[in-house]
Structures are given as structure tokens and as C-alpha cells.
Chains A and B, each alone.
Chain A
Amino acid sequence: MAGPLPIADPAPADGLLPASATTDAASRAFGVYLHVPFCRVRCGYCDFNTYTSGELRGARQEDFADQAAAELGFARHVLAASGAPDRPAATVFFGGGTPTLLPAADLVRMLGAVRDAFGIADGAEVTTESNPDSVDAVDLRRLADGGFTRVSFGMQSAVPHVLAALDRTHDPERVPLVVGWAREAGLDVSLDLIYGTPGESLADWRASLAAVLAERPDHVSAYALIVEDGTKLARRIRRGELPAVDDDLAADMYELADELLGEAGYEWYEVSNWATDAAQRSRHNLGYWRGDDWWGVGPGAHSHVGGVRWWNAKHPAAYAERLAAGVSPAVGRETLDHATRETERILLATRIREGVEVSSLHAGGRHAVAGLIADGLVDARTALAGRLALTRRGRLLADAVVRRLLED
């Protein structure tokens, strides 16, 4: 099952936000995240909030679009009543789970609900995640026609034994097909990879990268596998059925990815993300790193507005009950104090290419900069120009860099 929710204050039933959250909202971009918590099978490594049909305890996939629409209506009311200015969604992102397990019509209907609630900005980025085996040419065409601009395929690997270790069911041969259909439909394409899977060799990884580059996607994500407590993968490693993940090998893989992607014209803009140019960067995900506002719709979804974070009931049935009762689906929230917001700002901004402004750091953080340059973790030239951009080595040690920047 998914990891525990953070410990925090209970969320108010009316969902209303403090004035501090909305006063300068006009200066921040606004996005909508829709969490579709369904999967055909649960992958062994996954600890996301998602459910297979047997785990739904009466919640029904076919009701989900209406529930999401209900939460969006609630969201519009809360933001307006809390004094937030009207902001059309600059980005919309359907994640999961597997959003494309729902019929394309449902996804389009949910997007319509976003439009009804907030409007959708001109040139907005509208993405859905998808598994290569859960869409076909017709679905992709319907999504594009319905307003989607981008699809992010969970390719993970091109190597069968790696896909098997991850419990991924798709045939790697299908990836070129779905990429072709997405392009024909006029969608931008991202391919998502996982590296560091137990049993995956550097050669396997090189093969996956080559397969990605052969498709020339607009965007590539490459995430190091995290063995989360409580997952089947963690149990299999503990029992010795699979080898433990070697961090040094994962570092080699990251370096290889950055090298090959760089040579092919992709530029990193976040620790785990590369794009062909600035226009192809995922604006929705950048919103997370930049501290923008977003409303997360769906079970277990997280939201952030002006330093207030909250999260919804995890189980689809509990989520649906709350909405039906007319109360906020949120079960916990926290209002960040100034110091915590600063910590998060540095934690998040350090990971992206534009980085943290040196002048925005407190004394201890500024003091750490020289050491970070000396250790080859931040780029010297950029630092002298006033921003901290991680080097390749720095990206691999980003958490350590953040800790040093936050030292007193």
C-alpha cells in the first residue's frame, strides 16, 4: 500500500484558506493536477496511491469523472470564497495510477470540468500520463481533439527482463507505435524511464536510452528506482530474490543518461528531466519546484496554495464519501511558517536549472557556496553570476547540497 500520510493539522471541512494563502496569488501560476488512482496491476516498486479493481471496496472507476468534477466545483468555490483572484489553469496534468485506464471520453470530460471551474489559459500545457499498452491511435486522437497537448508514456525500460522485474506488462515493441500515434494526433511526447532496477546492467540501460533516442521524444524523464518500504520489491530484495540496488551503479547510469541525452541535444532542466528546448520542459512539474499554486484533484492528491499544503483522503471510497457529504475531501493540511517556506524554496529550487539566487540565501547558505564550488557541486561561473546551478556531480548529490545550503 501507499506510504503514510504526513502528520499535520486536520483540514477544515469547508476547505477555506487563510488570507495569507491568497493575498499575492496573482503573482503565481496556477495548475490543476488530477490523480486517477486506478491500475490494472500494481507494479512491485510502486508505492503511489493507486488501486487495482479488487482493492476498490465499492468505489467505481466509471463514477470517477463525476467525482473529479464535483471536487473541481468545490475547488472553485473555496478559492473564490478565500479571496483568490480568478486564474485560468496554465497547466493541467493527469497522473496516476494509470489515467488512460479510463475511457478517453472520461478524461476529456474531466478536462471540461477544469475549464468550467477555472477556465484554461491560452497555450496551456495539458498532459496525461499513459502506459504504452493502455492507449491506441483512436484514444490519442480523441485526447488531442479534447484539448490535451502532451502525453507522457511510462516506458521505464526497453529491456524485457528489466520490465519484468518492474512488473511492467507492456511489450517494448509497442513504444514506437504509441509514440507515432501520439505524434500523428499532434501531441507532444515525453518518455519516462526508470534506472537502477535490480538486475539491470549498464548495458541494459544504454539499450533503453538508445531506444528512447531513436524515437526522438520532446522530453525525457529518468528516475532512479527508489525501493520504498512496504512494496513487493522491498520484500523481494529483503528475501534475497532480487539483488539490492547499487547506488554507485545508479550513479553511473545517471551519468550515462546525462551524457547520451546531452549529446543528442537534450538539456537537463531538473535533476531527473531533460527536454529538447525550453518550450518542451514540463511547465506543470516546474510549478512544483518553483512553489507555484496547484489544486490536486482526486484521492490522495496534494495541493498547494500560497504556503498552505493539503492532501485528500487516500482511498477512492473514502474520498467519494466525503465529496458526497459535501465536505472537503482533504484529511490533513499544514500552513507553512516563513522558515519552512524558505527551506522548501531552497529544497525545490536547487533541483532545477535556473537554481537558487545566491542573494536570496541566508548567511549560512551563502557561506556554504564557496565549499560547494570547491567540491565541484555547483557551477562556478553561474555562481559568480549570482545563481546556483548544480553540476552533474552536484545533481547526483543534490540532497547533500541542499543540506549544506540550509546549514546555520
Chain B
Amino acid sequence: MSPRAAAPPVPAATDPALIRNFCIIAHIDHGKSTLADRMLGITGVVADRDMRAQYLDRMDIERERGITIKSQAVRMPWQVGDTSYALNMIDTPGHVDFSYEVSRSLAACEGAILLVDAAQGIEAQTLANLYLALENDLEIIPVLNKIDLPAAEPEKYARELADLIGGSPDDVLRVSGKTGMGVEDLLDRVVERIPAPTGDADAPARAMIFDSVYDSYRGVVTYVRMVDGQLNPRERIQMMSTRATHEILEIGVSAPEPTPTKGLGVGEVGYLITGVKDVRQSKVGDTVTTAAKSAAEPLAGYTEPLPMVFSGLYPIDGSDYPELREALDKLKLSDAALVYEPETSVALGFGFRCGFLGLLHLEIVTERLRREFDLDIIATAPSVVYEVTTEDKKTVTVTNPSEFPTGGKIAEVREPIVKAAILAPKDYVGTIMELCQSRRGTLLGMEYLGEDRVEIRYHMPLGEIVFDFFDNLKSKTAGYASLDYEPAGDQAADLVKVDILLQGEQVDAFSAIVHRDKAYAYGVLMTGRLRELIPRQQFEVPIQAAIGARIIARESIRAIRKDVLAKCYGGDITRKRKLLEKQKEGKKRMKMVGRVEVPQEAFIAALSGETEKKDAKK
């Protein structure tokens, strides 16, 4: 008989002792969404016929990449013995870029399922989130997933998990989200092990916002975890960070479709709709209280999201600029961390300087612009935030190499650094250390996880990480290494701006702030790439890399000598004209830098490092 609850607890009238709030911590492809889907099916909140793969992941991109960006919470009934419980599963984002959102999701729970692929073992991001969970005093339930896989090594990884969090390897549950094996035991374990929430039902209401999602039909849907008191329909609420008040138009729980309720009480998890249209008015981490009876103190832990990585986004077709602005305005409604302002580039025209939480965030935003708004865009090389002090004691915040003060009056440049943790099989330790050292890393420590895997910790400049570090790490470790990092302050560094000049004209999109020791290498790399990527012109084109007025590297593209089709194909003039039209079409996709025609593809390829030989034939 199915242990589905016969009489599920009713929202707003549930004894906190019957509530369990938990999340699942897992690496990107370790099967979190599949397990969550299986739980929805087993507890009966989603009928089998409505099941679609990865039910909780709403956006196409998430489903395609198998990663969860926006978290949600689902209330599931579950019966153990004679008692019906309400389980709230809070789906956390899995990626380091969203660690603040992760930390708020964790703060909404009392326990966490630590889900690890039985064929792969734990990964760096999972470890990072595990640390966060332990910091939040969550009860951890270790689980190995995908035990149905032939490559699964449950004994080995059970030992690894036991080593990591204490306890015996026998305590590690073994499940298969795919077949459903072990999932009922896991739900029982959640009830048994995870503490019930506690709070003061009579105190002024306090609820923490752990997610805020823009819905084009309903406006912003705010997900909250009640700590104290109660929230009711039609009540006026107040956001404690801004003191702004709104009326609750709808309050409810996700089951998993939004289901209005008579309110939310202590320990419950649900959503609020107030009619606001911008997620910035309902910020993750903020505390919601009632306007009539405000709480004195907000809940701890709120911070403003801070962009760490900046990049210029430009429409490939300049006339798409208004569409890009509109698209960013729309994305902003659902992405509180996205910041942007207009920017002009000599080479790329009109665009926006955008701030992101990290590289994945950048990638997701550009992908959404392409997919949801059908925009062709170029992203310039990602840059971090530098604090530059000039000799006259002025401090400039530089998020774009073009803002870097010129003229040699710089007293100090400070760059952000991070604590990076890399997990990899022990055979790659040497390779990884070499790579980190070459990126100005300082070794902090190294620890074995189980028999053959090592966690290596480094202090590294964030600027080095955003410059293709992860790609390098992956390629040098056959894809085995995983990376996590967190901000760790800043440091003074000998940084310079390297400019790239085409026929004497500076191409701002290629300027970069790099360490003085790396300036030459960057100059050689970029001039070499451009020489391969820019087609020959009717004149010779020198390509130079310069620090200020000093040229540090030089290449040149020889003038093209032959650009003519010799024959006329026996009177087939139509074919010749079509060739001309194709050539002219190709020219439209060129950006002019001075007199030099640079194909859009060359910008993209040079910025992404995908250097393909330009087509030699005409």
C-alpha cells in the first residue's frame, strides 16, 4: 500500500511539529531534478499522467542543461505510521554563481539531502554548498543516487561521504531517482531525522524571502519561509529593507501548482503575490512583516546581490539596439542580480555594460537573450571590478578596461580575489597546481577525499578565473576537475591595460586589464588571433598590442592581391551576380575599424578564443 497521506495537514493550520523543510544539495548532473520528480509522483501531488521530466525546472535552458537556476518550493504530504506530515522541498540553485540565493534557500530549511552520483562521487560545488548547509546547522541526510547504473560504486562513495560528514557508510541511503528505488525510505528518513521548525506563533510576522520569480501573467511571485507569526490574504505587508508596503492579493503553497490558502503559519513555506512587477521590489533575503504590526528586527543574513563579472553586450545588427534594451528590461524583472547601463564601443557600436554574479550567470543571460528574444549578440571579454587609485589620491572603480586611467599616474590597483576549491582525481594534482600557479594563485591547502580524490584550495585573482581558467582546467584534467570559488576580499597587484590597435586604431572591445607579467603574452595571443581571423584587405594592416604608447607585440596582415573571378561561366551572368550579392551580404556583417573591415565572427572568435583560420580562398 502506498504511504501517501490519507489526511494531509491543511496549510495555515498545520502544527509546526508536522512540518519538515528540506532541500537537495547536488552537483549539476547528479540527478536532483529526477529525484524531485520522483518524490512528486510518489507522494501523489503530481498525477503520473501530468508528469513531465524535470517538472520543477521551468525555463527551457534549465531543462536543456539539466541545471536549476530558479528555486521553488513544493509542499508534499507524507504519512509515517498514523501521522500525516507536510514536507516542503525547497529546490536550490546548483551553481556557485548563485551562492547567495543558495544560502537563502538553505536558511529556509532545517535539513538537506546531500545527493551524490554513485558513479562520480562528490564535486566541488556540492562541497561548497555542503559547507554552507553545515554553517546553517542543517541536518544532513547523505544519499547516493543512480545506484542502478552499471558504473555505480556505492561502497566507495559511501565511504567518501561518511569520511566527509561523519557517521557510518551504512547510514548513506541508496536510491535511484530514475526507477524510484529507495525513494520512499528517503522520505521516511526526512520525517525521522530533520527537525521540525520552531517559531513564535504570537510574535509579529516574520517571513524570509528565499526566491522571487517574475511571471508575465501574475507579476512577481515571492517565495517565503514563515519564521514567526502568520500572514493572511488581503493583509498589508512590509518589506523590511525598503519599508515599502504591498497588499497580499494571493497567498498559498505550491503543490506544485500554485494553490491559494487561508494563510501561512509558523514554519510553513509558500508564496505571496502582491501585484509588484519587478523582482527588485521583492528581494531575496529580505524579511516580510505585516504593516499593521511590524517586527522590530529583520531576520539575519540579507545582503544586496553584488555583480562580480562585467561584460559588454552588443547587438550584432546595430539596429537591434532598442530590442536589446527592451529585452534586458524584461529580463531584469525576473533577475534581481542583473545590472546594466548603456555603453558605446568604437568597434561594436551601441550596447550595454552588464554586471553578472559570475560566468554562468553571464552565459545564461546571453543565452536567454538569444533564445527568448531572438537577438544576435556579442559579449566582450568578461572583466572584474578593479579599484584604481591615481597619484592624486582619486579612486576609480573600473568595470570596463576603457575606464582604466591612462597616462601613468596610477598609484595602486586593487583586484578582487577569491578562495577557489578544486576537486579532482589525485593524478591531476601537479597539472592543476601548475595551472593555478600560472594564474597567480597561492596555495592554501590540500586534502584527500577518500582514496583517490583531492581537494586543492587556492587564493586566486578573480580576473584570472574569468579569463578562460575553467576551460583550461577542464581540458587539462580530461574534464574530471570541478571548481568552486567564493569572494575573499581584494589585493594590490601590478596590473596594466593592454590595448589592441588595428592600423593604428584602438579596438576597445579587445582591451584587457592584465598583470604586467602577462601583458606580453596577452598581446602576442590577441594579435596572433586577429591575424588569423581578419581577412586580408586591399592594404596591409598592422596589428599591434600596446601598453599606453608602448608597443609590446606586433603582427601584420598582408594586403590581398587577388579578388576577382576569372571567368563568366558561359554567359551565366546570374551566377556571377549572385556571387556579388553574397559578397555584399558578407560585407554587411563587417564592422569598420577605421578602414579595416572586421567580420563579426572575428570579434566573437577572438573574444571567445575560438580561432579558426579565416577562409583563404575568395
Contacts and interface: CB of A to CB of B under 8 A. Distances in A.
Q: Are A and B genuine complex partners?
A: yes
Contacts of B571: 33, 288, 294, 296, 301-304
B49 interface: no
A398 interface: yes
B617 A348 contact: no
A227 interface: yes
B616 interface: yes
Interface string B509-552: 00000000000000000000000000000110000000000000
Interface stretch (A54-62, A108-116, A158-166, A243-251): A243-251
A399 B580 contact: yes
Contacts of A402: 580
A53 interface: no
A209 to B, nearest CB: 16
Given A375-B539, A398-B563, 4 more contacts: A226-B567, A244-B616, A288-B568, A302-B574
11 contacts: A48-B569, A247-B616, A247-B617, A248-B562, A254-B562, A296-B571, A309-B573, A311-B572, A348-B573, A397-B564, A399-B618
A323 B340 CA distance: 67
Interface in A375-408: 375, 377, 393, 395-400, 402-403, 406
A309 B539 CA distance: 37
Contacts of A304: 571, 573
A397 B537 CA distance: 11
Contacts of B560: 247, 397, 400
B575 A6 contact: yes
A223 B573 CA distance: 17
A366 to B, nearest CB: 18
A278 interface: no
Interface in A196-227: 223-224, 226-227
Q: Is the interface of B mostly helix, strand, loop or mixed?
A: loop
Contact of B562 (A250, A289, A303, A347): A250
Given A247-B616, A251-B561, A396-B561, A272 B577 contact: no
B576 interface: yes
Nearest to A248: B561
A8 B574 contact: yes
A23 interface: no
B564 A395 contact: yes
A226 B575 CA distance: 14
A355 to B, nearest CB: 15
Contacts, number: 107
A296 B571 CA distance: 8
B114 to A, nearest CB: 53
Closest 9 CB pairs of A and B: A251-B561, A398-B564, A224-B566, A223-B566, A251-B562, A302-B571, A6-B574, A400-B563, A247-B562
B52 interface: no
A198 to B, nearest CB: 12
Contacts of B617: 227, 244-245, 247
A24 to B, nearest CB: 19
Contacts of B572: 6, 302, 311
A363 B539 CA distance: 25
B156 interface: no
A154 interface: no
A245 B616 CA distance: 9
Contact of A95 (B565, B570, B584): B570
Contact of A302 (B562, B563, B570, B583): B570
Interface string A253-274: 0100000000000000001100
A399 B563 contact: yes
The CB with the most chain B CB atoms within 10 A, among A227, A302, A303, is that of A302
A343 B574 CA distance: 11
A229 B575 CA distance: 14
Nearest to A271: B564
Nearest to A254: B562
A343 B580 CA distance: 9
Contacts of B564: 224, 271, 395-399
A302 B568 CA distance: 11
Contacts of A334: 574
Contacts of A377: 538
A294 B617 CA distance: 32
A169 interface: no
A3 interface: yes
Nearest to B579: A399
B577 to A, nearest CB: 6
A360 interface: no
A285 B568 CA distance: 9
A302 B578 CA distance: 15
A17 to B, nearest CB: 16
B393 interface: no
B587 interface: yes
Given A227-B617, A248-B561, A340 B570 contact: no
Contacts of B574: 6, 8, 302, 309, 311, 334
A128 to B, nearest CB: 14
A402 B570 CA distance: 20
A340 B577 contact: yes
Given A247-B618, A375-B539, A403-B584, A347 B563 contact: no
B566 A271 contact: yes
A377 to B, nearest CB: 8
Contact of B577 (A303, A343, A393, A396): A343
B573 A344 contact: yes
A348 B539 CA distance: 25
A42 interface: no
Contacts of B584: 403, 406
B573 A403 contact: no
Contacts of B583: 399, 403
Interface string B186-214: 00000000000000000000000000000
A397 B538 contact: yes
A224 B568 CA distance: 12
A190 to B, nearest CB: 14
